[in-house]
Structure 1
């Protein structure tokens, strides 16, 4: 998985599959050192933490809804519960 070219799609020995090159591991949507990367990178830990909490809250760590609308509702419920919990903790301080 992660290869973009298979054997026979390029000259012999040049395909990702033949070279054992996992392209998905080396591509970056936002390259290092760019202004946008510097702006958003600082939020990475929070995003990863929230994603971990979401995964842990789902049965068997899998989405519990079928279809985009149902999944959107699950995500909205999760976001609302996280915001409500954060607001309550903030009020108590």
Structure 2
């Protein structure tokens, strides 16, 4: 492995890129998007809550797996091991 690849990132790109994509999608929806019917029923809230619980559960599982493997959970830090078990199979 060369020295360029072994250095960790100095700038946390993933949160910035996700935030930029969110802002662009919101602005594009406000400017050019047709009106979208909104779900103001209990069904919509139940689906949203289930998806949120699933996402948080997957995130906790991934963090637990990385910590058990002895590597970092920060995306802009250098890793110690390649994890190929758990949610990373």
TM value normalised by structure 2: 0.32
Structure showing greater relative contact order (alpha-carbon pairs closer than 8 Å, 6 or more residues apart): 2
